Amino acid sequence: KRVAAAPKNPSLGLSREKNGRRILVFVRVRPLAKKEAEAGARCCVRIVDRRDVYLTEFAAEKDYLRLKRLRGRHFTFDASFRDSATQQEVYSATTSELVEAVLQGRNGSVFCYGATGAGKTYTMLGTVESPGVMVLAIKDLFSKIRMRSCDGNHAVHLSYLEVYNETVRDLLSPGRALVLREDKQGIVAAGLTQYRAYSTDEVMALLQQGNRNRTTEPTRANETSSRSHAILQVLVEYRVRDAAMNIINKMGKLSLIDLAGSERALATDQRTIRSLEGANINRSLLALSSCINALVEGKKHIPYRNSKLTQLLKDSLGGSCNTVMIANVSPSNLSFGENQNTLHWADRAKEIRTKGYANEDALPVPETETDQVKLVFELQKENR
């Protein structure tokens, strides 16, 4: 099916629409790993025009040595990043506007999700040489604060926490599990470290140490459990004077979330969610699916209470929060099923409407169009 060509410079501004603002959904493909190439993997994800994603299914031919292209599916997102995209490009397109909004007292959240090994932690945390969204956001925040004021009017506090097996832990001060409590500001983790940050320099080391404190797989020490969710909360407090020159305190919060591996755990309908509930699958991820489904369907009741993750994210998902999803996929056809699942879920997430806010400066985002080709994936298993 032919798709309208994407404009040369698609605006990534926060869109305003009649029925509320939809969340922005991005896809990032990581480079093919050496191991995958050696195993004969073929690239099954192609990005065209910076927005369109083509997922191709290959099946082994009779001799099982060659792969035949079977069929494909096409998706369109707000922007899609090829394996050559830099961390800075990904940050600028996905998160920089949220940082600006946080400085105006609005909440924002960025989720990375996808199967284990798809590039979530690389996108969020990155490396010392190529820092990811978390570090670039804080760097940008400090430089924006410097441009705005030199009187120390803004205070930046960082909290980094993990949800693993329905237990919340402080990654900046590991120890006991934290208890969630409801207070005036919403759900808070009692006793969570709020690290006052003064510059970017200290942040990478702090977050790397935090990441090392994430729960590891019992069988493979050093390897972060694929079931661990990490949330970095960046709280910006500042003071402004109102018309009567009274000082008022304001606050904006940015949540940057490196979700657990989504393999087998993302469900797009309630029936699948119920069938997975019995199977000891990541409860927080399922609860997130449920909340997203409820938001997509415009339900009044959003089941935030069903897990620790969704309780913590209550003010960062839906409501008046700006939400961004980055779906990470591997290019390998060996991960076809997982990629398909991730892209399908990302496609659905585009339908979430939040109340949002009117950002007068924002340009409208072009409406996306998705080719809804129905496919049968009976050969999927054979293909793996």
Which positions make up the binding site for ATP? 114-121
Interface with Mg ion: number of residues (CB under 5 A): 1
* Nearest of 169, 165, 325, 355 to residue 258 by alpha carbon: 325
87-94 and 133-148 helices cross at what angle (nearest 10)?
Answer: 60
Q: Cβ closer to Mg ion: 342 or 368?
A: 342
Binding of residue 108 to ligand ADP (CB under 6 A):
no
Q: How far is the CB of 118 from Mg ion (least distance, A)?
A: 9
The CA–CA distances, whole Å, from 270 to 136, 267, 278, 384 equal 37, 8, 13, 27
* Residue 360 CB neighbours (<10 A): 6
Among 117, 131, 252, 331, indicate the residue that binds ligand ADP (CB under 6 A).
Answer: 117
- Residue number with CB closer to ligand ADP (154 or 214): 214
Q: Residues 150, 267: contact at Cβ < 8 Å?
A: no
Pick the closest to residue 362 from 6, 3, 22, 5 (CA basis).
Answer: 22
Site string for ligand ADP, 314-343 (x = CB under 6 A): --------------x---------------
366 binds, among ligand ADP, Mg ion, none (CB under 5 to 8 A by kind): none
- Which residue lies nearer to ligand ADP by CB, 306 or 335? 335
Q: CA–CA separation, 195 vs 206, rounded Å?
A: 10
Select from 73, 120, 154, 308 the one that contacts ligand ADP (CB under 6 A): 120
Only one of the segments 11-19, 51-59, 118-126, 318-326 lies at the binding site for ligand ADP (rule: CB under 6 A); that segment is 118-126
Segment 20 to 49, residues that bind ligand ADP, using CB under 6 A: 30-31
> By CB under 5 A, is residue 96 in contact with Mg ion?
no
With CB under 6 A as the contact rule, the residue among 108, 119, 131, 331 that binds ligand ADP is 119
Q: Binding residues for ligand ADP, how many (CB under 6 A)? A: 11
Point out the annotated binding site: 114-121
Residues 6 or more apart whose Cβ sits within 8 Å of residue 191 = 170, 178, 179
Interface segment toward Mg ion; rule CB under 5 A; list 2-10, 113-121, 192-200, 281-289: 113-121
With beta carbons less than 8 A apart as the criterion, state whether 28 and 328 touch. yes
Tell me: does residue 262 bind ligand ADP (CB under 6 A).
no
The single-letter code of the amino acid at 235 is L
328 forms part of the interface with Mg ion (CB under 5 A): no
As a whole number of angstroms, the distance between CA 49 and CA 124 comes to 24
Residue placing its CB nearer to ligand ADP in the complex, 124 or 295 = 124
- Of the candidate spans 65-73, 113-121, 160-168, 349-357, the one that interacts with ligand ADP by CB under 6 A turns out to be 113-121
For ligand ADP, the closer of residues 327 and 349 by Cβ is: 327
Q: Provide the minimum distance between the beta carbon of 86 and ligand ADP in the complex, in angstroms, as a whole number.
A: 9
- Alpha carbon of residue 137 to chain centroid: 14
Interface mask (CB under 5 A) for Mg ion, residues 119-138, using x and -?
--x-----------------
Q: Which residue has the tokens 């284990």?
A: 116
In the chain, the largest separation of any two C-alpha atoms, in whole Å, equals 80
Footprint of ligand ADP on residues 60-99 (CB under 6 A)? none
Nearer to Mg ion, 112 or 178 (CB): 112
Residues that bind ligand ADP (CB under 6 A): 30-31, 114, 116-122, 328
| Residues at the site binding Mg ion, with contacts judged by CB under 5 A | 121
